[in-house]
Structure 1
């Protein structure tokens, strides 16, 4: 089918994403290929498509192979990322507290995924797309929880380090792989709230630090003081506890946000 239009949205680390309009709808088209540091990126689009089919039970998610990896096409989610929506809170001199209803919409999307038996493994602000009616949690290529075709599967080797929980970073440093968990997702959600509201990573390290140095800082250093105005601030503090057992579940985060509204 000949597209009506296409727009490059992402081009980095073994993946390109296109916004493609066709006569039958608008799609996010992803192309995966080997990057300099990762081979799994070539398989990521097809792996995500297999997960989305299980979660959504729909036939409008497509995938296949091309000469450098795999591709997928899925319905486009309209909206802005959490990081974009909370940009006003990062401006110098702005003292307004983040909108709790917006935070709740993100926590609800994560809680729904967990209730379906999956963990995301790559929670970050840009993966929450806040639309006119609800917030979608996208980019599930690293999710764990169900069957994935063996020829598209790969080991979990962490996510964008800015949002990794200490236990995930420690496992990557010690063994090269980790097991994503719902509690690690909650930590990442807290770190996503924090950076979206303040512009600061949860743990300080130089901008040019290697991934190993970033993970070592997360393992060895406490997170930054939570300066987000209450009532979200104390909740982020709980979500980013170094002990996974002390973190609330995503569903409990939803309850706390509803009670604070």
Structure 2
């Protein structure tokens, strides 16, 4: 089942896109991603393939594409199959991640206040997805791309909330644990799966803002802890003290409440940030 990337664009994918140039962006966790310039624009092209531990990664590009087609113009999203899984092409989003954008705050060595407007732009991107009925399921700093054209929330392969063809669907088994809400970690420990929710997305946004501003994960656990121990720490322990100054820190505290019902909605987060902006 397992494969090892990175993989070149298959011949039939090249024929479909007619690339003028292409650049390898990343290859990890069952996905090779290319930045591809075509006669009609620049695209992020993903090739999904199974890994030693996960078969679902082979389906993720097509699954994400079917969701994107419900959110943006369908002519801008293409997908299909290749010998090791599925592939997709979607508009390239130019910009810098939230984590990289806030690197000066982590480098300062003391608590500093990030720009509320940048936090607001991330919250707006998440709220827009929620307003369309979807929970993202994998909110993390590197999935917020901040650029001149706005802030985009990318990587929707794990999102839940609408119709997904059965051929490309798979069960949700959690996200990057550094941003996982306690109830998601608990469910995965107990049953192996969970249901992504908007409330868990809000927690993950708070954890994303926190780590981007401070460099600290939301809950303390050893760097070499295995995934199960990481999740157990999230279930058992409180989150770290929120050291981000001002109203942003207080808002992050609310977003990372242990009880989902106590967290503000993404729209309420936007309202609070607008008031402070």
TM-score interval, smaller chain: over 0.9
Spell out, residue by residue over 1:114-168, the C-alpha distance to the aligned partner (whole angstroms, 9 max, x if none).
Answer: 0001110000000001111310100000001111010000001100110000000
Residue number in structure 2 paired with 1:113: 129
Residue number in structure 2 paired with 1:39: 55
Any residues of structure 2 matched to 1:53-132 within 5 Å, and which?
Answer: 53-93=69-109, 95-132=111-148
Any residues of structure 2 matched to 1:66-215 within 5 Å, and which?
Answer: 66-93=82-109, 95-215=111-231
Is 1:28–2:44 an aligned residue pair? yes
Once residues 240 and 58 of structure 2 are traced to their aligned partners in structure 1, the CA distance between those partners, rounded to angstroms, is: 35
Which blocks of at least 5 consecutive residues in structure 1 are unaligned?
Answer: none
Give the paired residue count: 261
TM-score under structure 2 length normalisation: 0.92
Once residues 224 and 93 of structure 1 are traced to their aligned partners in structure 2, the CA distance between those partners, rounded to angstroms, is: 17
Where 2:71 maps in the other structure, the secondary structure is: helix
Where 1:59 maps in the other structure, the secondary structure is: helix
Which blocks of at least 5 consecutive residues in structure 2 are unaligned?
Answer: 1-14
Once residues 94 and 208 of structure 1 are traced to their aligned partners in structure 2, the CA distance between those partners, rounded to angstroms, is: 26
Where 1:213 maps in the other structure, the secondary structure is: helix
Deviation, 1:229, is 1.1
Once residues 177 and 117 of structure 1 are traced to their aligned partners in structure 2, the CA distance between those partners, rounded to angstroms, is: 21
Do the aligned residues in 1 keep the contact of 2:111 with 2:214 (CA within 8 Å)? no
Where 1:21 maps in the other structure, the secondary structure is: strand
Deviation, 1:87, is 0.6
TM-score under structure 1 length normalisation: 0.98
Within the candidate set 19, 23, 35, 1:19 is matched to 35
Once residues 172 and 53 of structure 2 are traced to their aligned partners in structure 1, the CA distance between those partners, rounded to angstroms, is: 14
Query: Cα RMSD between the aligned structures?
Result: 0.9
Once residues 227 and 82 of structure 2 are traced to their aligned partners in structure 1, the CA distance between those partners, rounded to angstroms, is: 30
Once residues 94 and 223 of structure 1 are traced to their aligned partners in structure 2, the CA distance between those partners, rounded to angstroms, is: 19
- Which consecutive segments of 4 or more residues in structure 1 shift more than 2 A? 92-96
Do the aligned residues in 1 keep the contact of 2:177 with 2:227 (CA within 8 Å)? yes
Deviation, 1:95, is 4.4
Once residues 60 and 109 of structure 1 are traced to their aligned partners in structure 2, the CA distance between those partners, rounded to angstroms, is: 19
Do the aligned residues in 2 keep the contact of 1:88 with 1:94 (CA within 8 Å)? no
Spell out, residue by residue over 1:87-115, the C-alpha distance to the aligned partner (whole angstroms, 9 max, x if none).
Answer: 10000435431000000000000001000
Is 1:255–2:271 an aligned residue pair? yes
Residue number in structure 2 paired with 1:227: 243
Q: Which moved more, 1:244-253 or 1:200-209?
A: 200-209
